[in-house]
Amino acid sequence: MKTIGLIGGMSWESSAEYYRILNEEMNKRLGGLHSAKIILHSVDFEEIEHCQKAGEWDKAGEILANCASSLERAGANFILLCTNTMHKVVEQMERQVNIPIIHIADATSKSIHDKKVKKVGLLGTSYTMEQDFYKKRVANNGIEVIVPGEKERDKINWIIFNELCLGKIEEDSKDYYKAVMEALVNQGAEGIILGCTEIGLLIKKEDCPVPVFDTAYIHAITAVEKALEEGEFHG
């Protein structure tokens, strides 16, 4: 079994979900008392969020690249960055390590292809919905991406940072997300990317009339598969 390196804390609410999913899935596949081999480097999200607001992406990238290096030195075989937004700096991180970083948009795109979905709606932080670093990565995998309008994007972003990152699950916010997803479906979306790792805390598959792609779950399952590849496990 390979050792999974996690860069978490963005927010710790979703990082805890990663830890749970990784261990549950590993035990499901191997049985007994098996669990995942994990090394976690958790950052102070306030520091990262300040860089986001200030547009200091290089500084944030340096912080996360140093995290990646520490995981490599600690013995991780590959890395998961437990956030969609900060994949904006993944190339900066990749230059500093010699182990793979599993890109969350690539893992999600594979899952979308598996469902034979061609057009998706994207929910996430304003950075993820509005900038090209994420949408373009999905589009380069042959998938059309649409996003909500500006007013809706602002509210979606507010709910992420002021509720979900703090562990607050509000029914009014769930209803708002459901209405936005329905509007995207009416615009032709055949699926919805939950493109922020906290959104899966609020929205479940039964909340949407089309498939939802929970990026945190997909990312974690992809990591389990990678940790177990290259031969049969003998433990």
Q: Which residues does the annotation mark as catalytic?
A: 83, 196
Integer CA distances (angstroms), 5 to 91, 99, 186, in order: 17, 10, 39
For the beta sheet containing 191-194, the strands, ordered from the edge strand earlier in sequence to the opposite edge, are 144-146, 119-123, 191-194, 212-214
Residue type, 77: N
Going from the C-alpha of 150 to that of each of 18, 100, 157, 208, the distances in angstroms are 30, 35, 11, 21
- DSSP-derived 3-state class of residue 70: helix
